Amino acid sequence: MSLYLEIPKWSEVFPLIIFENEGEIIVPPHWHKEIEIIYVTKGSVNIGYNDQIVQVHEGELFVFGSGEAHYFMASPGSNRLVYQFDLNLFRDKTFKEKSHLEIIKLFEKAENHSVYWPLETKEKVIAYLKESFTEMAEQQPGYEHVVIGNLLKLMALYYREIPQKPEMYQQVTFSEAVNNQETLERLNDVFMYIETHYNEVVTLEEVAAVIGFSPFYFSRFFKKNTGQTLMQFLTDYRINQAKYILSHEKIPMIEVAEKSGFNSVKTFHHVFKEQVGMSPLKYQKAIFGNI
């Protein structure tokens, strides 16, 4: 499976998983169609999201909407609970007046970090999460109903209490793709190819052949489901790799350029500065200065 696209394997009848990670666990850039909630129970967790490093402290929450790319840096001395659930839970006839795409966008527009929520709202969410964790661990009769009930109450908070972030910070995600499992699997094959070959010359024809499409049809398919051309996506992918390397390793810039797939340090510097708004070295200094 592609590291960039994560497709969880559900062990329960309903699509929800809860697990705990220690701060030393590093997670590379990835995205998935499931909603992911991070609840920091100890220390501070360093998260790469939306071209910046966000520190989420003990007692705080951070929520990734469907299709929002992110990664985790090493955060020694910290612990986090991770909740992932599929919005297919809300494809019931009860919600027929609300399209699936509308629910996805509900999370896209909301403030990710609980520091921007009303305190009372944050405390409600934490209570739902703690109870769900206990129910999933003990699995007493009827635990599924308690957990789904908590998720329904969470949804109500997103409609009523959790504020929206400024429009300029609302990410464009793969909203179309997350609705279709077959499309996700095809994209997964594409991402796996890119992960293996991003530090080589990659052509549209080669990638199209991976899923058996003509270059013309593949271009339309990829743009429709990611919002980008293949070359735009490849550049973004390489920049994300570079940011990940810069935030974890102190190596010469020529090595960062090579490891992230750029054919020259000059090109790397130019593209990085254009995309991120600062030079790679300044970005690295900012990262290590804030941790």
Helix (H) or strand (E) run with residue 21 in it: strand 16-22
The answer on 161 and 23 residing in a single domain is yes
User: In this structure, is residue 4 part of a structural domain?
Assistant: no
113-131: per-residue pLDDT in tens?
999 999 999 999 999 999 9
146 and 213 assigned to the same domain: no
Tally of domains in the chain? 2
Q: Which residues contact 224 (CB under 8 A, 6 or more apart)?
A: 176
**Domain co-membership, 21 together with 158:** yes
In a domain, 6, yes or no: no
Contacts of residue 126, Cβ cutoff 8 Å, sequence gap at least 6: 39, 59, 61
Across 227-235, average pLDDT: 87
What is the per-residue pLDDT across 35-81, written as a single tens digit (0 to 9) for each? 999 999 999 998 888 767 889 999 999 999 887 878 888 788 899 99
User: Quick one: pLDDT at residue 104?
Assistant: 78
Mean pLDDT to the nearest integer, 176-191: 71
Higher-confidence residue of 12 and 251: namely 251
- Please give the average per-residue pLDDT across 125-146, as a whole number: 93
Domain ends where: 110, 145, 169?
Answer: 169
Does any domain span residue 211? yes
Instruction: Please state at what angle helix 143-160 crosses helix 100-109, rounded to 10 degrees.
Output: 70
- The average pLDDT across 132-148 equals 92
> Longest C-alpha distance within the chain, in Å?
62
The whole-angstrom separation of Cα 88 and Cα 148 is 12
Residue 205 is predicted with a pLDDT of 95
Structural domain containing residue 200: 180-290
CATH number for 158: 2.60.120.10
Residue corresponding to tokens 């007046």: 97
Phi, psi of 97, deg, nearest 5: -80, -10
Statement to judge: residues 107 and 150 lie in one domain: yes
Q: How many residues does the chain have?
A: 291
CATH of the domain at 223: 1.10.10.60
- Across the chain, mean pLDDT equals 84
- Asked if residue 204 and residue 157 are part of one domain, the reply reads no
Q: What is the pLDDT of residue 96?
A: 54
Query: Residue 212 above 80 pLDDT?
Result: yes
For residue 171, what are the CA distances in angstroms to 87, 161, 175, 238, 260? 18, 20, 11, 18, 23
Q: Do 125 and 239 fall into the same domain?
A: no
Distance from C-alpha of 144 to C-alpha of 167, rounded to nearest angstrom: 36
Distance CA 100, CA 104 (A): 6
Q: Quick one: 164 and 20 in the same domain?
A: yes
